[in-house]
Amino acid sequence: MNKPKINYQVILEKKIEEIEKLDYVPTLLLHSCCAPCGSYVLEYLADYFKITVYYYNPNITFGDEYQKRYIEQQEFIKILNKTAKNKIEFLGGEYDTNEFYDKVRGLETVREGGERCFQCFDLRLTQTAKMAVELNFDYFTTALSISPLKNGQKINEIGIELEEQLEVKFLKADFKKKNGYKRSIELSRDHNLYRQDYCGCVYSKKEREEAVKTQK
């Protein structure tokens, strides 16, 4: 039996209402895979949290692609910090693709959007949660749900499980809602951000290349 879908955007809006009543600004460790995906999320949340962007993405197979996204993320944060109410920080995670390959072993032929992706979400969210505990953040979350190709329900389920296991608050959200994805495209265009056409791993790249060939 399928689980009923939860509107995590409504939950986020209620949480923000609670936060606005506080007499301090809570800290948030935000996992981001690239500047375009993090763009709207940062614009949206920077008024309510002291955000540190955590760039931890061992799924990005190719070193040059990883570095390009790494630099782009930092450059976009510099742009936002010119006007941001609360200064945004950046934290780079370790880059070891073996962590990704170990996590998805046996799932190499699964289509994009399936169990392999869920294991990848788990890998990156788990590390983000552990880092949030280590550095004493109030909340952790990820920008991954901005993509219409990412399963926001599954992402939030993983985050909620980690909240219970590690006792650090997970900021529930589905950032694609309320035109979030559309706004991320606008910000990418306005700031000439590099937008890749695949998620990051070698399997998503191969699937994207096959789709392009089919279209042609």
pLDDT recorded at residue 3: 77
Residue 42 zone, left/alpha/beta (φ > 0; ψ -120 to 50; rest): alpha
HSE value, Cβ hemisphere, 13 Å, CA-based, for 9:
13
Pick from 66, 75, 11, 68: nearest CA to 42: 75
Least confident range from 19-33, 38-52, 173-187, 202-216: namely 202-216
pLDDT tens figures, 124-144? 999 999 999 999 999 999 999
pLDDT tens figures, 18-57? 999 999 999 999 999 999 999 999 999 999 999 999 999 9
pLDDT recorded at residue 4: 85
CATH code linked to domain 8-215: 3.40.50.620
| Structure token pair of residue 138 | 């109030």
pLDDT recorded at residue 1: 56
Whole-prediction pTM: 0.96
Please give the distance of CA 1 from its chain centroid, rounded to a whole number: 28
pLDDT tens figures, 68-114? 999 999 999 999 999 999 999 999 999 999 999 999 999 999 999 99
In the chain, % of residues over pLDDT 70? 99
